Amino acid sequence: LKSVQVVVDYSGIIRTDMAGFYTSNYKNEKGETKYILTTQFESTDARSAFPCFDEPNCKASFTISIEVPKDLQVLSNMPLDKEVVADSDKENKLFTFCQTPKMSTYLVAWAIGQFEYVECTTTRDYNGSKLPIRVYTIPGQSHTGKYALETAQSAVDYLSSIFEIDYPLPKLDLLAVPQFGANAMENWGLVMFRSTALLYHPEKSSALYKQKVSYVVSHEIAHSWFGNYCTMNWWSDLWLNESFATYVGWLCVDNMHPEWDVFTDFISGSMQTALDLDSLKNSHPIEVQVYHSNEIDEIFDAISYLKGGSVVRMVAESIGVELFLKGVSNYLKKYSFGNAKSDDLWDSVSEVSGKNITELVEPWIRAIGYPALKVVKNKDGKTINITQQRFLVEGATKVDDSITWWIPNVDNMLTKEKVIDAQNFLKLNKDTAGFYRVFYDDELFENIVQNLGKLSDNDKIGLIADTSAGARAGIIKTSQFLKLVSQMKSETHVSVWNEIIERLNILKNAFFSDEEISEKLILFSRDLYKNKFEELIKSANLDFNGQRLASALFEQAGISQFNVAVTKALSIYQSKDIKPHFKQAVYRILLANADTCNDDVFNSVSV
């Protein structure tokens, strides 16, 4: 007996909780309520829609047929094979889709409703022809899908090139769903998005929002290889999907928009978020053992995505990005249409790099937390001593000192006996490539402050964040942090300023109940922000990052009660002409100041 065909008659509930096979609704231009039926199966909700072995390593091929009323359309993972009038009801149509390759159940998808779309094809050929790409929306919104379409086109061609594996399916659709629980879901061939993560209006959307769309689209398309083509064996390796898609998603954006300098944003935003969270005593490892399906949703968090993505970037930077991607390509080819574990990836990277990455990276993946390096100048004045210990934001607490983390490019220094020449300027963790913090003795720190011009923007972000975190933990003086940022009034990069803003706001929150200190911090902030704000607010034709920086400093100067910024915000509000990148700043400034946060102001004009 070569095969058995099993036919199962079953019925299920169309859900309303944005999981499984569920209903979503929206209002059309006439104010009528319309519905979309769609799916969200990750992690274990495919079983609520059809009988299946609903685990990632139980892969199968699927042929999907769906019968619907004639006025509706159906989308699924694969291209439409045929569309016919249904035998059961002449008012219905039967949509049958081509058979999928072997894939996990959580990636199966379909959507039913009335849609419109914009489309393009890839620049390069796939199996002898251009690959069709479409962005689907509810009626009347397809024009806002054009930027996502451009991003998808760029990402597919770029990822096919760097992985040395052509995009594996014959089409790619992206669908904006009115109600969707996550930013997006990487269903193979039919990627679904919350509308606010896919649709971009060039006249109404801010620059930062454009970057969000670019990243989310790229992240999800990266899963077409890392997650879909080669899938984690079990949910304990969820980080393998999400960490890698996080890092590669930013690679895609950087390839499409090198002028945005997005990895500086990554360091200031994603990486620092993960460092702050992972400095808590009750953090968890990147790789978490999952024993029951109820535990899976608990690990979709910043550790799995952002710490994991940061560690992936650290490894890539330490051996070279091209070499790292070669190892990834070998891994994907070896486990194509199958399943793998995290060590399988590191083994492939080890093979191409000549280093035992699998062993070196283990504490980063399987231990909680990360190290802080303490750098002290020795009495001879010519050498330094570097030690490491797990960093906790609550400060001096007994921790497990049995873990020694691999520190790329510094690992040969990490003993009490081995030291390096420190007669000249010294700054560790170049370009903040490593997922750790560094604290210096007073003399070394002062040397860095006096040589800020020698640092890259990425170096400055790490220095600001480390100094702030050290002050919170009681390792260094808060005055050192304030002295550092006071020397940065002339900085030009938006991510450097964003880190200053974030860390100053943390300090303000810590002292919000002390009126005297709070007032001093407001005055300090006003003095820090006002000159750069006045310079930028007069500038015309600001570029992408210039708009973001002008908005950030406008907002902070106004919140710090700088009268020029407050007056400007009120003027813009009353003019009814608020540029997208200034909208948040204007409202926050008006709400933060007693003279403008009142009914007279907000009732005086309708925006």
* Active-site amino acid positions: 220
- In 3D space, the residue among 263, 171, 174, 159 whose CA is nearest the CA of residue 217 turns out to be 174
SS3 132: strand
Short-list 208, 191, 192, CA closest to 200? 208
Using alpha carbons only, what angle is made at residue 341 by residues 407 and 108, rounded to the nearest 5 degrees? 125
**Under 8 Å between Cβ of 306 and 314:** no
Q: Is the peptide bond before 43 cis (omega within 30 degrees of 0)?
A: yes
Other C-beta atoms lying within 10 Å of the C-beta of residue 293: 14
Cβ neighbours, 10 Å, residue 154:
21
Cα–Cα distance measured from residue 365 to residue 342, given in angstroms and rounded to the nearest whole number = 9
Indicate the Cα dihedral angle 504, 505, 510, 512, nearest 10°: 120
Cα–chain-centroid distance for residue 255?
A: 16
Neighbours of 190 (CB within 10 A): 27
Q: Maximum CA pair distance of the chain?
A: 92
CB-based burial of residue 544 (10 Å sphere; 0-12 exposed, 13-18 middle, 19+ buried)?
middle
CB of 498 closer than 8 Å to CB of 552: yes
For residue 12, give the H/E element and its range. none
What residue has token string 């210039």?
A: 546
Both tokens of 318, joined, read 């330490």
Asked if 439 and 474 count as a contact pair (C-beta separation under 8 A), the reply is no
Tokens 């992240």 belong to residue: 219
Q: CA 413, CA 375: separation in Å to the nearest integer? A: 11
- Torsion over CA of 78, 81, 86 and 87, rounded to 10 degrees? -120
